[in-house]
């Protein structure tokens, strides 16, 4: 019997993932991660209650120190530099399928499972990650940074179910989290607003808000509290809006805003860094013509997939049509049909 460690957050998705694996005959062990001081104690209790009902071993691992020194520190540093990082994607790469993966392997782990909405499949003889049945809950966007060599050890048990079906399974099997609301926002902050968290580490620094013609529209408390495409919280009282953040100038502490139809808000070509592929070099080479591959891609979670061409040599992603509100620091994630083939960090927008 294969031993599988299930990362149980205390939500319905990971709870049902544990239930399904036990039903399939796996030797299931529940693991709850304590990642920050903002964690809701109720989540641990909910995960423990589900583990008791399923009659599986349950452990809590406190990784606040490791999480602080990696994901949290990286998030603060990138915001300070004017980028918009993606801590959930970094958490999957460095923590869940990084530090925790290695830790559990030492404890005899055969497999690790989560409640992500994603699927596993075979493509050209290799294990790959695919878009799940429930496209509205698709979480493959956050999985691009995983090491490809680890895919064989990872399971996504709820990938063939919709959210409604997952809740139905929980309810029919008397799991107490059946109606529990989904968590929102950044994983390690819980109910805390991002701007309030950042203010603990980054000082307020008054700067100008300009329109694209250089007119002063107002003032902001610091460029690092805003992100490209942001509409709310600008405190512009001159009228004529709505306005969206178009550019940030960290050196001058200036934010440039634009109206919906202004060209500055849209981008067709972006430069990437830290590319990671979840398919082998052999398959990638087969799909490429002159180091270029036709794909679909997204630069934000829940953004519709858009046709694009990826230049793997020069790390340039070119969309067929211009897209709105590309934010340097975010993840650009690539798909071939419904297969997650990789991703990278948006370094800068190109003209």
Catalytic residues: 91, 187
Both tokens assigned to 58: 């349950």
Total Cβ atoms within 10 A of residue 245: 23
What φ, ψ does residue 94 adopt, rounded to 5°? -90, -30
Helices (H) and strands (E) in the chain, counts: 9, 17
Residues in contact with 240: Cβ distance below 8 Å, sequence separation at least 6, in sequence order: 259
DSSP type of residue 96 = I
Residue 195, Cα to own-chain centre: how many angstroms?
A: 19
Both tokens assigned to 136: 């509205």
Both tokens assigned to 130: 């695919």
Residue 89, Cα to own-chain centre: how many angstroms?
A: 4
Both tokens assigned to 187: 């994983």
Strands 292-298 and 331-336: antiparallel
Helix, strand, coil percent content, the chain, rounded in steps of 5: 30, 30, 40
Both tokens assigned to 287: 């799909």
User: How far apart are the C-alpha atoms of 218 and 209, rounded to whole Å?
Assistant: 5
């Amino acid at each position: 019997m294969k031993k599988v460690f299930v990362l149980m957050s205390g939500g319905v998705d990971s709870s049902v993932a544990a239930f399904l694996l036990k039903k399939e005959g796996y030797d299931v062990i529940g693991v709850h991660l304590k990642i920050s001081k903002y964690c809701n104690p109720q989540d641990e209790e909910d995960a423990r209650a589900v583990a008791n009902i399923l009659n599986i071993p349950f452990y809590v691992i406190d990784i606040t120190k490791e999480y602080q020194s990696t994901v949290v520190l990286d998030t603060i540093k990138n915001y300070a530099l004017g980028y918009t990082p993606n801590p959930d994607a970094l958490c999957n790469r460095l923590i869940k399928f990084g530090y925790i993966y290695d830790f559990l392997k030492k404890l005899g782990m055969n497999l690790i499972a989560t409640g992500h909405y994603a699927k596993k499949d075979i493509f050209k003889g290799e294990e790959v990650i695919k878009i799940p049945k429930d496209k509205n809950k698709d979480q493959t966007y956050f999985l691009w940074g995983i090491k490809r060599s680890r895919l064989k050890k990872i399971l996504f048990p709820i990938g063939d179910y919709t959210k409604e079906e997952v809740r139905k399974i929980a309810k029919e099997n008397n799991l107490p989290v059946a109606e529990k609301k989904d968590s929102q926002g950044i994983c390690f902050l819980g109910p805390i607003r991002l701007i309030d968290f950042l203010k603990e580490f980054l000082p307020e620094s008054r700067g100008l808000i300009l329109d694209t013609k250089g007119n002063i529209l107002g003032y902001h408390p610091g460029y690092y509290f805003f992100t490209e495409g942001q509409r709310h919280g600008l405190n512009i009282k001159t009228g004529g809006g709505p306005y969206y953040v178009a550019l940030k100038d960290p050196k001058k502490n200036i934010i440039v805003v634009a109206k919906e139809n202004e060209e500055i808000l849209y981008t067709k070509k972006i430069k990437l860094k830290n590319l990671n592929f979840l398919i082998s070099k052999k398959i990638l080479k087969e799909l490429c013509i002159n180091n270029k591959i036709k794909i679909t891609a997204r630069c934000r979670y829940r953004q519709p997939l858009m046709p694009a061409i990826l230049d793997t040599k020069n790390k340039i992603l070119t969309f067929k049509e211009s897209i709105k509100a590309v934010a340097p620091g975010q993840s650009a994630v690539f798909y071939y049909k419904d297969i997650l083939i990789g991703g990278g960090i948006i370094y800068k927008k190109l003209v």
